Amino acid sequence: MSEQTTRHGVALVTGANKGIGRATAERLAELGMAVVVGARDARRGQEAAQALRAQGADARAVVLDVTDPATVQTAAEQIDAAFGRLDVLVNNAGITGSGQVSPMDATDQIPSQVDLRMVRAVFETNVFGVITVTNAMLALLRRSPTPRVVNVSSHSASLTLTSDPDGPFAALLPSAAYHPSKSALSAVTVQYAHELRKDGVLVNAVAPGFVDTDINDHTGQLTPAQGAAVVVDLATAGADGPTGGFFGHEGPIPW
């Protein structure tokens, strides 16, 4: 482990082979952090890490499927062996449950019609996967002088915003899968922040905005780099930074 890596820290980003996750990894690497690219697909993860290294980054890939505890544990062991600690965990990996369809247009998630198998699959990744990864990485995070956990969420997680019949999200189709999974992620975020506050671990949720990615069939208006900006802000927050909050580019988001 180099002195530079020790000074600037180590970050793990799940789902980092594309989209917001990759843009987040790129920005953290630009800030001098060693970046671990978590990806379900080994080839795609290695390609992303290689591209980062070509840009001068200290980057490596680990196979990490958030729904497979064995791969998560192996990834933790690899990070331990390589660095001995983890400074930043970005829980970015997530699914809509509707294939290449935006969750805003997912008619198959309407509560009265939804297939419970879809709901379970979405929660398995978006909620239970975050718990699995966070718990596996906690020992490494506790070795960091500045541990940070950022859970990538969505504005649709906000009950305040989505329950307003005259609000900006009134046009969203009702969902029993994606939107509730992100609301549950908010609750999990708050509980981790409450537990880990005494250890100096700052835990926050972020909504990167409507970003042009696979998850919405590239209909988003922001670039992945623009979406990643708020993620990186929370991942690199100082000791006086917030914990247990929900933030977007516009600032705090109501629960």
Q: How many CB atoms lie within 10 A of CB 232?
A: 24
User: Alpha-carbon Rg of the chain, whole angstroms?
Assistant: 17
Read out DSSP for the chain?
--HHHHHH-EEEETTTTSHHHHHHHHHHHHTT-EEEEEESSHHHHHHHHHHHHHTT--EEEEE--TT-HHHHHHHHHHHHHHHS--SEEEE-----SSSSS-GGG-GGG-TTT--HHHHHHHHIIIIIHHHHHHHHHHHHHTTSSS-EEEEE--GGG-HHHHT-TTSTTTTSPP-SSHHHHHHHHHHHHHHHHHHHGGGT-EEEEE---SB-SGGGTT--SB-HHHHHHHHHHHHT--TT---S-EEETTEE---
Bridge partners, residue 251, by sequence: 248
Choose the catalytic residue: 83, 123, 178, 247.
178
Tokens linked to 87? 């400074």
Q: How far apart are CA 245 and CA 255, in angstroms?
A: 9
Residue 192 a catalytic site member: no
Q: How many CB atoms lie within 10 A of CB 55?
A: 10
User: Which sequence positions are flagged as catalytic?
Assistant: 178
